[in-house]
Amino acid sequence: MLTPRIAVSVRNGTARIALLQNNTLTQYHLWNPANTIDIGALYTGRVTAAAPAMAGKFVDLGAEITGFLPDTAGAKFLSEGHYAAFRITRTPQSGKGPRLAHVPDHPPAEKPGLLRPAPGPLLDLAVTFPHANIILDDYALIAELRPALEGRMIHQAETFHPALEDEIAALAEPTATLPTGATLHFEFTKALTCIDIDTGPATAARSNKSHAQLAFNLTLLPALVRQIILRNLSGGILIDFAGLKSTARPQLATPLKAALDSDPLKPKFLGFTHLGYAELLRPRLRPPLHEILPP
C-alpha cells in the first residue's frame, strides 16, 4: 500500500487540498487561510438574544458575525449580555451562521473577537494521516505552516497532475459518471440533497433484470459514497437507486452501511422512505463543495 499523499495547490489565495490514497483521490477541500470562521476557531462572544423556539441563543462574535449556541452546547447556562468563550463547531452554510459550543474553561476577552484561529482542513488531515507526504506549490503557505509542519512539507512546482485536475474539475458538475457506467444526478436545496442514480443501458441487456439491477446497484455503492465525500454533501441526503422495486431496496441496506464506514464523518443510514429513497444524515461541519466553488 502506498503512503498517503496530501497535495496542495494555491490559486488566488485559496488552497486546494487533495488527499490521495493509493493514488486515488479520497478527500478534497477548499481552504482560505484568511477565513477565521472555521471548525475549531475560538472566539469571545456576547450572548445577544434568546431563541426559545430554536432551543438556543444568538451570540455576537464581533466583526458583524453572529453565531448560534444550542441549549445542548451550553446556552441554557448563559444569559443575555454574558461574555464567554465559544468554539465554532459548524461553519456558515446554507444561509445560516456558524454553530457554536460554550468553552467554560477558557477565559473570554473584554470584547467579542477571535481568540485562537482554527487549524483548517490541511492541518486536520496532517494530524489524521501523520505519515502522509505533504506537497505544496506555494512558498508563502509553506512558511506560514512551518511551525506546525516542519519537516513534513515538500515544495513542488506542479502538485496536481492533469488527470487529477480533470477529476477535481468534474466535481463542479451536477452529474457524475461512475466507472460502472451509472450516472449520478445531484439536486441541491437548503433542506436536503437528492441523488438520482441512472444506470442507462448498463443493465438493459441482462436476462434477469431484477437480479441485474440489484447487482448493479450493489457494485456502485463505493463510488457513490466516494462522490458524497468528495463533494462534502451533508445534512439530509435522499438517494433514488435505479430500477429496483420497493420490496427489493431493503437488500441494499447492509451493503450501504458497510460502504458508509469509509466516510470519516460517519453518516447515519436512517432507512428507506415510503417512496423508496435511501435516507442518510451526514454531519454538517464545513460547507458542501457546491456552496464554496468560485462562480
User: Is the domain of 18 the same as that of 144?
Assistant: yes
CATH code at 230? Answer: 3.40.630
User: Is the domain of 187 the same as that of 280?
Assistant: yes
Say if residues 165 and 209 touch (Cβ distance below 8 Å).
Answer: no
Task: Identify whether 273 is part of a domain.
Answer: yes
CATH code at 61? Answer: 2.40.50.140
| Structural domain boundaries enclosing 83 | 42-116
Helix (H/G/I), strand (E/B), else coil: 16: strand
For the chain, the maximum distance between any two Cα atoms, rounded to a whole number of angstroms, is 73
pTM of the predicted model as reported, rounded to 2 decimal places: 0.92
User: Is the domain of 112 the same as that of 123?
Assistant: no
User: Is the domain of 152 the same as that of 277?
Assistant: no
Task: Identify whether 37 is part of a domain.
Answer: no
Return the H-helix or E-strand segment holding 42: strand 42-51
pLDDT at 242: 85
User: Is the domain of 150 the same as that of 262?
Assistant: no
What residue type is 18 in one-letter code? A
Q: Residue holding cell 486546494?
A: 16
Q: How many CA atoms lie within 13 A of 234 on its CB side?
A: 19
User: Is the domain of 63 the same as that of 103?
Assistant: yes
Helix (H/G/I), strand (E/B), else coil: 256: helix
Say if residues 40 and 86 touch (Cβ distance below 8 Å).
Answer: no
pLDDT at 199: 82
User: Is the domain of 263 the same as that of 180?
Assistant: yes
User: Is the domain of 197 the same as that of 286?
Assistant: yes
User: Is the domain of 179 the same as that of 281?
Assistant: yes
User: Is the domain of 177 the same as that of 273?
Assistant: yes
Mean pLDDT in consecutive groups of 10 residues from the start of the chain, 295 residues: 91 96 96 94 97 96 96 92 97 92 96 96 96 96 96 96 96 93 94 91 57 88 97 96 83 96 96 93 95 83
User: Is the domain of 177 the same as that of 282?
Assistant: yes
pLDDT at 209: 66
User: Is the domain of 53 the same as that of 156?
Assistant: no
